[in-house]
Amino acid sequence: MLIIRLFKSSQTPPLFLVPVITLLLVLFNIYTQGVVIIKDMNHGVLYALLLDSKIDGIKWAVPALIFVLITIQAYLFNTLINRFEVLYKNSNIPVIIFIILYGLIPDFLSLSPFILVNTLMPLALWKIFALYKSERPVTRAFDTGFVFSLMILCYLPMALLVVFMYLCIAILRPFNWREWVASALGLATPAILLFTILLVTNKMHLRITEVNTDTWLPVIKLQSLSWHYILPALVIAVILFLSFLKLYANYSKNVIRMRKFQLCFMLLLVFLLLIILIPVQQSAARFSLLIPPICLFLSYYFIAIRKIWWFEILSTVFILLIALGYAIL
């Protein structure tokens, strides 16, 4: 598709299309299934505060928030990839792939703790990557822990990413106990501040989630699967496989910094899969957590495509999958 091909360069003008495309997806999602607010049994205090604000009672507030958050995510992620040169060349492909991945599954465009986490994810990765050869590693380590703590306060299972955070610090930095302690202090700070605010405002009841281990369900039930979930998953799995093949073939050619950043993304994909598969509640929206790492690897493959006809076929397939997802609702 011509629109997607416009983003293959690193020029600025195509970026102005991002809010337009995002707005169209959000409006079409509202038209087909209305405004959906997901209450996951493991959502954190920050998401509970958002729900407690009665945002659903304000007309168009939820769609506006979804539009703003997804647009910010796409821009932040694209800037992150190009700023730290995670891919072998600068391109705006990540921003359009990011939006397309959100459009593949209608449930992704719902208000959920996952959309808050995805807004913070580029910031968390930015802080981690900034640690590489940093002249102020202790301060940046604190900032890293701070952002990861905010993600946990949005969705509690993100606590598993604390292990990911320390693995990335170990990959990017020689061991320094001050940096590890600073990141731990960063993790604790938002929780202390938030619970102090809850105590002062008499809203401590929001700290309790609705987890009930007697009703835990498998994340995926075969009888509940439909083609508008299966087809996008298959297409993404195939392109991911092709992307990993290209990445493996070119891995040794990349500079050390780029290899370390790509390794962090691989670890992120693994940890997010583990988080998604925690058997708490069935929700297709939980798979939106995979959008950042999947976007990186799909972007790598799209940028590496040399044959225009193959690029056009894959672009058309994604557009058709978005249309199919809404056609069979």
Domain boundaries, the chain: 2-327
* Minimum mean pLDDT range among 119-128, 167-176, 197-206: 197-206
Residue 259 clears pLDDT 80, i.e. is over it: yes
Q: Give the integer Cα–Cα distance in Å for 108 and 245.
A: 28
Q: Which residue has the higher pLDDT, 13 or 216?
A: 13
- On whether the CB atoms of residues 10 and 181 are closer than 8 A, the answer is no
The pLDDT tens digits for 275-327 are: 988 766 667 788 999 999 999 999 999 888 888 878 888 888 888 888 887 76
- pLDDT, averaged across the chain: 85
Q: How far apart are CA 146 and CA 198, in angstroms?
A: 18
- Is pTM beyond 0.85? Reply is yes
Closest CA to 183 of 158, 167, 166: 166
C-alpha 24/C-alpha 45 separation (Å) is: 31
What is the rounded distance in angstroms from the CA atom of residue 133 to the CA atom of residue 234?
A: 39
SS3 43: strand
SS3 (DSSP) at 212: coil
Q: Is 60 left (phi over 0), alpha (psi -120 to 50) or beta?
A: left
pLDDT at residue 210, as a whole number: 54
Q: What percent of the chain has pLDDT over 70?
A: 89
In sequence order, which residues have a C-beta less than 8 Å from that of residue 54 and are 6 or more positions away?
none
Distance CA 251, CA 67 (A): 36
| Burial of 177 (C-beta count, 10 Å sphere; 0-12/13-18/19+) | exposed
pLDDT in tens, 71-115: 999 999 999 999 998 888 888 899 999 999 999 988 899 898 999
Q: Which pLDDT does position 213 carry in this prediction?
A: 47
How confident is the model over 186-203, as a mean pLDDT? Answer: 86
Least confident of 89-93, 249-253, 261-265, 306-310: 249-253
Q: What is the pLDDT of residues 213-240, one digit of tens each?
A: 445 555 555 556 677 778 888 999 999 9
pLDDT in tens, 42-69: 778 888 888 888 887 777 889 999 999 9
Rounded mean pLDDT of 158-178? 93
Structure tokens at 152: 């946990």
Distances from the Cα of 33 to the Cα of 107, 138, 154, 294, 320, angstroms: 9, 47, 25, 26, 19
Angle value at C-alpha 66, between 63 and 69, nearest 5 degrees: 150
